[in-house]
Amino acid sequence: MPVFKDILKHIKLILTCVLGMVFINLCPKIGVSQDTIAPKERVVWHKLEGGLSMTINQLGMTYWAAGGESNMSGKITGNFKHTYHRRMFNYVTSGLFIYGAQGYTRTGRYEKTEDRMEVSLTMTQNNNKNLTFTAMTMLKTQFTNGYSYPNDSIPISKFFAPAYLTVSIGYTYNIHDIVSIYFSPSAGKFTFVNDQTLADKGSFGVEAGYWNVIEGDSIWIPGKRFLGELGLNVLIKYHQTFNDNVSIFSNLNLYNNYMDVNPDNRWNIDVDWETGIRFTISKYISTVINVHLIYDDNVRFEIDGREKPILQFKESIGISFLYKFAVDNKNKKINN
């Protein structure tokens, strides 16, 4: 199928770049005989940590002159992080799952407020230096259908429509374990639209369907359900805790597709910037303020009769009930 040919073509290009950077990174080690390396004791350990939180808001009113409607909203957030430490490389697998909804009592109307599913795998060189070789894979999608309310009959997104898979290699520079800057000159971004109706519309940057007229006969060419891009990726992360009860995080993800078939689009930069402040009230209760900005040239909205990309903005504040856990076995030693 053509879609699989496109996928294989882009994967081959990414793998070529990956193998090239791995070869360059390991060149200093090539030529050293394994027989000359004396066995030594090394530490291998695992650590699993994560948490589960619930945020609930409720509004009730009866015969309220100013108007309004009783409603209840809530959000469930789950996350995990598994760290596998070895002598040469560290492997970190992490996941973030969020689902929020709001229901109205009188009309029985239900609206989704948040929907995220993110899983990532990161491999970093264990050289105990600020600058480390890094390979990263990340998958982003959602759980359920998304709508442009109040229209809840025509979905504008679905599970794996879209789904974004990013595969990249580069280097990470760490500053006092507070700020990390990841730069990848070779990052593959793959967009999947696992719904033919959305693909035919050209949603999320895939090629839309069209009528092909040949000798007076019209043939419908379905839209493509896959988009492959190769570009530059910069990821900046900041996390710091103050006085054990206030913590701030900020993640800025920038992506530029310098291989776009349209030269005019090669200067476009996709932006994903999320910032949050957490005020810890007790071990199980905290207040969270969150701001999320997204700009993607492939995601377009109808504004004044025209479809065009626009800055997406989301802000939330609420009181959360949370549970955290952490398990590790850092004392395990293996003879190598």
Q: Is pLDDT above 90 for 121? A: yes
67 secondary structure, DSSP code: -
Which sign does the torsion angle of CA 160, 162, 167, 171 carry?
Answer: negative
Cα(146)–Cα(156) distance, rounded to whole angstroms? 6
Do residues 96 and 115 lie in contact, with contact meaning Cβ atoms separated by under 8 Å?
no
Percent of the chain whose pLDDT exceeds 90? 61
Q: How high is the pLDDT of residue 69?
A: 86
* Residue 251 backbone phi and psi in degrees, to 5: -120, 120
Domain 2-27+71-327 adopts which CATH fold? Outer membrane phospholipase (ompla); Chain C (2.40.230)
For the chain, the distance separating the N- and C-terminal CA atoms, rounded to the nearest angstrom, is 47
Q: What is the mean pLDDT of the chain?
A: 86
Beta bridge partners of 287: 279, 319
Q: Is pLDDT above 70 for 19? A: no
Select the more confidently predicted residue: 220 or 63. Answer: 220
Cα(52)–Cα(99) distance, rounded to whole angstroms? 12
Q: How high is the pLDDT of residue 24?
A: 46
Q: Which of 200, 293, 275 shows the shortest CA–CA distance to 239? A: 275
Residue with tokens 């939180």: 53
Q: How high is the pLDDT of residue 334?
A: 47
Q: How high is the pLDDT of residue 3?
A: 45
Residue 68 region by backbone torsions, left for phi larger than 0, else alpha for psi between -120 and 50, else beta: left
Q: Is pLDDT above 60 for 11? A: no
Q: Is pLDDT above 60 for 1? A: no
pLDDT tens by residue, 164-180:
999 999 999 999 989 99
Q: Is pLDDT above 50 for 156? A: yes
pLDDT tens by residue, 73-86:
999 999 999 999 88
168 secondary structure, DSSP code: E
Which of 44-48, 73-77, 327-331 is the most confident on average? 73-77
* Residue 233 backbone phi and psi in degrees, to 5: -130, 130
pLDDT tens by residue, 241-295:
998 899 999 999 999 999 888 888 888 999 999 999 999 999 899 999 999 999 9
Do residues 318 and 29 lie in contact, with contact meaning Cβ atoms separated by under 8 Å?
no
Cα(258)–Cα(88) distance, rounded to whole angstroms? 32
Select the more confidently predicted residue: 264 or 239. Answer: 239
pLDDT tens by residue, 199-224:
999 999 999 999 998 877 889 999 99
Do residues 124 and 136 lie in contact, with contact meaning Cβ atoms separated by under 8 Å?
no
Do residues 189 and 166 lie in contact, with contact meaning Cβ atoms separated by under 8 Å?
yes
Least confident segment among 112-116, 124-128, 265-269? 124-128
Whole-model pTM?
0.83
